[in-house]
Each structure stands twice: as structure tokens, then as C-alpha cells.
Structure 1
Amino acid sequence: MRWEAFLDQVQDRGEYRTRQEAEQAARIVLALLGAHLVGDVRAELATRLPETFAVILLNPLQAAEPLSPERFVRAVAAWIEGATEQTAAWDVSAVLSVSADAAGEDLTARVLLQLPPGYNLLFGRPHHT
């Protein structure tokens, strides 16, 4: 997916006023997501994202422990100035749902298998378990 298209979709879903707000959310959410994915799944997801976001996703940092969806949202809120848990949940859902669309259903299902239960809602996929 091209950079412009990805950010346009994030901006639309997140109802951001500016592309810069959408980009900030995407950078933070994908950096945290990348710390929770490993192996081929992470690498394959990176190939479906714009190059700049792929590099962020592939950053070699790894999470010490998997974060529950609630803790993931709180971590995003901590990185976005002025964010609350509610606005961070909105940011996470905007970025992850666009990422899931770019990835396709099969890859999204494999990503969800690497994450604790409950992330399917953040990815806009309420029917995955």
C-alpha cells in the first residue's frame, strides 16, 4: 500500500484534522505493535505497509511481555501528548484496522494469533478469536 493511501485511510477512520496527526498515531501504534510480533508474520506484515511504516514495525525492540489490549491502549496514550485512554483506543483502532485491510484476512488472522485475546476488536475484526 502506498504511503498516501495508507495515511488517507488512517486520517479518515481516525477523523484526524491533519495528516500529521494521522502519521503520529500510525508511527506510535505500529512501533508498539512491532514490539509484539515476531518472525515471518512481522516480516510479512511489513511488506504490506508503506516503507517508512515497515521500518518502524521491524524495529528490533521486543516487548518484555505481551500487553493485553487494554495495556496496549494505555501505552499508546502514554506516547501521545494529551491523549486519554478513550482517544488512544480510537487511534489504535484507526491504525490497526487500516493495517488489517492492507494485510488481508489470512495475515491478519496470523497476526492475531501472536497477540493476547481481545486484539481482534482493535483490528476491526470482531469475529476473529
Structure 2
Amino acid sequence: MALRREAFLDLVRERGAYDTLYEADRAARVVLALLGAHLVGDVRARLAARLPDDFALILLNPLQSAEPLTPERFVRATAAWIEGATEQTATWDVSAVLSTVADTAGDDLTGQVLLQLPTGYDLLFGRPRTTRPPSP
């Protein structure tokens, strides 16, 4: 069941500490367009089904990416698409949107999404991979 647009944007706005829904909407559109370029097949379709309709369409009709972006390059690309953004503010934007996406998708689907992305995206999704220390 897809989250309603207003509920999704309220979560992004709260996590990103945006003053307006417009700012949350702008961040969500850019980040989801970039994310969609990295996902394929059933995982992308299942994730889109959990998002509000207009955001699902953005995810399904992504910007074209010639190669998978590392998390750092993903943040830089986000900064380039958001007027006035810096890498620091773009990191905030990406994390606000992707952590909301992760909560909307649930742990199983988020795990499948992360498998399609280069290493390091887990932190942007607010889902740091925990590794167990070796036993003494």
C-alpha cells in the first residue's frame, strides 16, 4: 500500500528540517530521479508501488545514468540539481528522502534496493550495515 503524498512529504520535511513542503517536494523529486537510474526490474517496480503516485512515476522514469554513482557522487549530483545546494545540504536532502523511502519500503525491500547500489548507500538510507566483531 502506497503512502499518501502528504504523509510522505511530511516525513521528508520533518527529517530534512525544511521550512516548506515545496522544499521537501523538490528534494524528493531530485533524489528519486537519481535513485531510479540505479535500480532495475522487480525491485524498482516494487519500490515504486510503495511510493505516492507522482513520486513512483519519477522513480520509474529516471534520469539516465551512464554508470552507478558512488554515494559521494550521488550527493554531488543531487547538489548540482538543487539550486543553491552545497554537498553538505545535499547530503541532508538525500538522507531525508532515502530514510523516508526506507521506512516506506520496509527492511526486506530496502535490503534488496541496497544490493543494487554501490557500497556505502546504507548510511544514506539510515540503515547502517552492522558487522559483528570477530569472536575472541
Q: TM-score, normalised by structure 1?
A: 0.97
* Aligned counterparts of 2:63 and 2:70: Cα–Cα separation in 1: 18
Match of 1:13 in 2: 15
- Which of these residues, 116, 119, 122, is aligned with residue 120 of structure 1? 122
Aligned residues: 129
2:44 to 42, 45, 49: 42
Q: Identify the residue that residue 22 of structure 1 maps to in structure 2.
A: 24
1:110 aligns with 2:112: yes
For residue 83 of structure 2, give the secondary structure of its aligned residue in structure 1.
coil
Deviations for 1:56-94, whole angstroms, at most 9, x for unmatched residues? 000054421000000000000000111000000000000
Cα distance in structure 1, aligned partners of 2:54 and 2:11: 16
Task: Determine helix, strand or coil for the equivalent of 1:57.
Answer: helix
**TM-score with structure 2 setting the length:** 0.92
**Aligned residue number for residue 53 of structure 1:** 55
Distance in 2 separating the partners of 1:63 and 1:38: 12
Question: Which runs of 5 or more structure 1 residues have no equivalent in the other structure?
Answer: none
Give the secondary-structure state (helix, strand or coil) at the position aligned to 1:30.
helix
Larger C-alpha radius of gyration, 1 or 2? 2
Q: Is the Cα–Cα contact under 8 Å of residues 109 and 128 in structure 1 kept in the other structure?
A: no
- Which residue is 2:70 aligned to? 68
* Distance change (3 Å), C-alpha of 1:53 and 1:14: same
Is the Cα contact below 8 Å between 1:6 and 1:98 reproduced in 2?
yes
Amino acid paired to 2:128: P
User: In terms of mean alpha carbon deviation, does 55-64 or 25-34 score higher?
Assistant: 55-64
Q: Which runs of 4+ in 1 moved over 4 A?
A: none
CA distance in 2, matches of 1:61, 1:80: 14
